[in-house]
């Protein structure tokens, strides 16, 4: 028996153990308690200044299901499913590799199916709590002021999380069977990035489809108006469950629990074999390369050697690959949109087209800072051999500059398509975008250099290790350079103001930075 008076090894006992580990991971992290307090303060502020006025306005308005409301709620649940599926797939793929307790659990008398059920429920709990926090500022005041039916949204969200966890676990174990344990983590992370951006890509179809997506979107609109989403139809049940109708709520939540339990039970035996295969990856004797070992690469100097090393490590990191791919998926529709606007601007020049192109250039500059921040965070701070660098006869500043340059190369490759299109079609805005993107990327890299927190590379897999101040600084500087780029593209003298403020912010950040350098 445990301190919770639950039988040892039972499903509730294991769930309590997982919950305790998750709480310890949050509160035990440096600044974890401050983060929890900040989230609580934001929830209170959102409830008082946002949710409460909305609830006061809607408390006497009856909500009756109609086709438009059902389509909106069903669409929102579908978006939530893909977002949670993206997170659960990535977490399921990583669960085989990152947690060191699977061998202990699977060698204990606990059935593998129970271990899988608890692990999948834990994977579903994290995104559920994240999205439940967004519901609370609106749902809680509505429930208190006389519409408790909207509390059913928490149960529907839990059902969606369970369905997404079951789908993510099935996909992860299917990848194990198709591509093997060595590449499952990388493929799972990349697939999760594609799924997470699916609805964004669909919404941007009008920017890159030949007819602007009129045929496809027209078919979807005709389908929604065909009566399939009428209150009496089967497709209306998820929306009616979210609105608190008892029978749809019981059926939807019960079906989700049954599907989740069935998937966990069917995959339990395979889970043990897959987890054992994953834990054995890399544990055997090291494979030797047949290529001859030479010292040619070291003759180019410390700077180029370190830069090549960091680029190779970036290319091998599945988490970073998924982050870069996700941002690439957001950049591609932007590129098509910029090219289309540029063509329209050349055909019919005017203020509107110029403003659209300048705004697009500002967005590219902002995106450059975000991508550079993700790469610089792990390139600069992650180092598995800090003692080796500390005792090596090399300049630590030179090593950091090589790491910083290594982060800029993938950014340049990623943004070469939109920047090249802008430069070819509208040279002045293209030049502004190139300088703005370079300044934004360099600013994010410098922020990570100034707020450096060295740690082993494996500790950067599941969480962002940089400081919250550094993340906010990246966001603010990216916005500053984005606004500067857009204003400069319009030949506005007001471009000097955001540029001056951004330089001032960088100076203040440099003055107050206290990097914890290990080499």
Question: What is the reported pLDDT for 3?
Answer: 47
- As beta bridge partners, residue 382 has 455
Please determine, for residue 471, whether its predicted confidence score (pLDDT) is greater than 80. Answer: no
- For the chain, give the percent of residues with pLDDT over 90: 10
Q: Are residues 336 and 200 in the same domain?
A: no
The residue among 249, 280, 311 that closes a domain is 280
CB 220 within 8 A of CB 213: no
User: Is 294 contained in some domain?
Assistant: no
Question: What is the reported pLDDT for 45?
Answer: 80
Q: Are residues 276 and 335 in the same domain?
A: no
Q: Are residues 85 and 199 in the same domain?
A: yes
Question: What is the reported pLDDT for 289?
Answer: 47
Question: What is the reported pLDDT for 162?
Answer: 92
Structure letter (DSSP) for residue 292? P
Q: Are residues 243 and 322 in the same domain?
A: no
Question: CB under 8 Å, gap of 24 or more: what pairs does 355-360 form?
Answer: 355/490, 357/422, 357/426, 357/429, 357/489, 358/429, 358/432, 358/485, 358/486, 358/487, 358/489, 358/490, 359/486, 360/334, 360/418, 360/422
Question: What is the reported pLDDT for 298?
Answer: 52
CA 134 to each of CA 47, 146, 150, 220, 503: distance values in angstroms, whole numbers, following the listed order: 10, 20, 14, 29, 35
Q: Are residues 203 and 331 in the same domain?
A: no
In degrees, rounded to 5, the angle at the alpha carbon of residue 399 between the alpha carbons of residues 397 and 402 is 110
- Average pLDDT, integer, range 357-362: 81
User: Is 229 contained in some domain?
Assistant: yes
Q: Are residues 210 and 88 in the same domain?
A: yes
CB 74 within 8 A of CB 238: yes
User: Is 315 contained in some domain?
Assistant: yes
Q: Name the band, by pLDDT with cuts 50, 70 and 90, for residue 316.
A: confident
User: Is 367 contained in some domain?
Assistant: yes
Q: Name the band, by pLDDT with cuts 50, 70 and 90, for residue 285.
A: very low
Q: Name the band, by pLDDT with cuts 50, 70 and 90, for residue 500.
A: very high
User: Is 55 contained in some domain?
Assistant: no
- For the chain, give the percent of residues with pLDDT over 70: 64
Residues 329, 331, 333, 334: what is their CA dihedral angle, to the nearest 10 degrees?
160
pLDDT tens-digit readout, 65-80:
777 788 888 888 888 8
User: Is 220 contained in some domain?
Assistant: yes
Q: Are residues 317 and 261 in the same domain?
A: no
- Average pLDDT, integer, range 277-295: 50
In degrees, rounded to 5, the angle at the alpha carbon of residue 72 between the alpha carbons of residues 70 and 77 is 95
Q: Are residues 111 and 241 in the same domain?
A: yes
More confident residue, 514 or 474: 474
The dihedral sign for the CA sequence 9, 10, 15, 17: negative
Please determine, for residue 328, whether its predicted confidence score (pLDDT) is greater than 90. Answer: no
Q: Name the band, by pLDDT with cuts 50, 70 and 90, for residue 250.
A: very high
More confident residue, 46 or 442: 442
CB 452 within 8 A of CB 515: yes
Least confident of 107-111, 180-184, 352-356: 352-356
Q: In sequence order, which residues have a C-beta less than 8 Å from that of residue 19 and are 6 or more positions away?
A: 122, 125
Mean pLDDT score of the chain, rounded to an integer? 75
Say how many Å lie between the first and final Cα of the chain, rounded: 48
Tokens 């703005």 sit on residue: 436
The residue among 251, 280, 309 that closes a domain is 280
pLDDT tens-digit readout, 268-283:
667 666 666 655 544 4
- Average pLDDT, integer, range 345-370: 70
Question: What is the reported pLDDT for 170?
Answer: 86
Helix or strand (DSSP H, E) at 502: helix 496-512
Q: Are residues 320 and 236 in the same domain?
A: no
Considering only CA atoms, which of 419, 172, 120, 164 is closest in space to residue 318? Answer: 172
More confident residue, 180 or 3: 180
pLDDT tens-digit readout, 131-155:
888 888 888 888 888 778 888 889 9
Question: What is the reported pLDDT for 254?
Answer: 94
Please determine, for residue 453, whether its predicted confidence score (pLDDT) is greater than 80. Answer: no
Q: Which two tokens stand for residue 200?
A: 């964004």
CA 403 to each of CA 57, 238, 306, 371, 473: distance values in angstroms, whole numbers, following the listed order: 54, 50, 7, 15, 20
Full domain range(s) for residue 433: 301-512
Q: Are residues 237 and 329 in the same domain?
A: no
Ranked by mean pLDDT, the top range of 294-303, 331-340, 501-510 is 501-510
Considering only CA atoms, which of 59, 66, 227, 232 is closest in space to residue 149? Answer: 59
Q: Name the band, by pLDDT with cuts 50, 70 and 90, for residue 403.
A: confident
In degrees, rounded to 5, the angle at the alpha carbon of residue 37 between the alpha carbons of residues 33 and 42 is 145
Question: What is the reported pLDDT for 284?
Answer: 47
Q: Name the band, by pLDDT with cuts 50, 70 and 90, for residue 300.
A: low
Tokens 């559920």 sit on residue: 128
More confident residue, 224 or 55: 55
Q: Name the band, by pLDDT with cuts 50, 70 and 90, for residue 118.
A: confident
The residue among 280, 314, 333 that closes a domain is 280
Question: Following DSSP, what letter does each residue of 430-495 receive, concatenated?
Answer: HHHHHHHHHHHHHHHHHHHHHT---B-GGGGSSS--S-HHHHHHHHHHHHHHHHHHHHHHTT-GGG
User: Is 14 contained in some domain?
Assistant: no
Ranked by mean pLDDT, the top range of 13-17, 181-185, 337-341 is 13-17
Q: Are residues 334 and 481 in the same domain?
A: yes
Least confident of 363-367, 383-387, 439-443, 469-473: 383-387
Domain count, the chain: 2
Q: Name the band, by pLDDT with cuts 50, 70 and 90, for residue 464.
A: very low
Question: What is the reported pLDDT for 217?
Answer: 58
Q: Are residues 464 and 503 in the same domain?
A: yes
User: Is 40 contained in some domain?
Assistant: no
- Average pLDDT, integer, range 485-494: 89
């Amino acid at each position: 028996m445990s301190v919770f008076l639950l039988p040892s090894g039972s499903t509730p006992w294991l769930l309590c153990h997982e919950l305790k580990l998750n709480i310890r991971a949050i509160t035990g992290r440096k600044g974890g308690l401050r983060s929890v307090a900040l989230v609580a303060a934001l929830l209170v502020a959102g409830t008082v200044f946002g949710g409460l006025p909305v609830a006061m306005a809607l408390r006497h308005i009856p909500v009756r299901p109609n086709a438009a409301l059902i389509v909106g709620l069903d669409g929102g649940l579908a978006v939530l499913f893909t977002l949670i599926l993206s997170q659960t797939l990535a977490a399921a793929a990583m669960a085989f590799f990152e947690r060191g307790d699977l061998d202990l659990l699977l060698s204990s008398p606990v059935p593998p199916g129970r271990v899988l059920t608890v692990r999948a429920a834990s994977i579903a709990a994290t995104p559920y709590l994240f999205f439940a926090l967004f519901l609370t500022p609106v749902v809680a005041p509505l429930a208190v002021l006389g519409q408790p039916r909207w509390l059913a949204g928490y149960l529907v969200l839990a059902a969606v999380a369970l369905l997404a966890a079951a789908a993510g676990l099935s996909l992860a174990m299917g990848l194990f069977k198709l591509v093997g344990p060595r590449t499952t983590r990388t493929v799972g992370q990349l697939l999760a990035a594609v799924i997470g951006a699916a609805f964004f890509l669909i919404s941007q179809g009008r920017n890159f489809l030949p007819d602007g997506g009129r045929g496809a979107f027209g078919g979807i609109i005709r389908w929604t108006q065909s009566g399939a989403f009428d209150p009496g139809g089967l497709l209306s049940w998820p929306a009616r469950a979210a609105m608190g109708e008892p029978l749809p709520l019981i059926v939807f939540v019960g079906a989700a629990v049954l599907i989740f339990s069935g998937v966990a039970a069917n995959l339990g035996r395979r889970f043990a074999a897959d987890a054992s295969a994953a834990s054995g990856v890399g544990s055997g004797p090291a494979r030797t390369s047949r290529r001859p070992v030479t010292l040619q690469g070291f003759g180019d100097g410390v700077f180029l050697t370190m830069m090549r090393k960091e680029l190779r490590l970036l290319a091998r990191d599945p988490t970073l690959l998924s982050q870069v791919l996700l941002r690439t998926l957001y950049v591609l529709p932007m590129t098509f949109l910029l090219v289309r606007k540029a063509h329209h601007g050349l055909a019919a020049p005017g203020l509107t087209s110029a403003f659209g192109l300048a705004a697009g250039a500002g967005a590219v500059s902002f995106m450059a800072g975000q991508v550079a921040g993700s790469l610089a965070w792990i390139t600069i701070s992650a180092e598995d051999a800090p003692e080796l660098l500390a005792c090596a006869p090399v300049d630590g500043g030179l090593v950091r500059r090589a790491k910083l340059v290594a982060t800029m190369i993938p950014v340049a490759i990623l943004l070469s398509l939109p920047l090249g299109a802008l430069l070819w079609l509208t040279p002045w805005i293209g030049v502004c975008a190139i300088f703005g993107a370079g300044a934004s990327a360099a600013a994010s890299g410098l922020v990570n250099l100034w707020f450096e927190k060295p740690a082993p590379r494996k500790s950067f897999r599941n969480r962002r290790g940089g400081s919250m101040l550094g993340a906010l600084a990246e966001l603010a500087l990216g916005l500053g350079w984005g606004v500067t780029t857009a204003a400069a593209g319009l030949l506005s003298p007001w471009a000097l103001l955001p540029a001056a403020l951004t330089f001032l912010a960088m100076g203040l950040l440099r003055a107050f930075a206290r990097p914890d350098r290990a080499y």
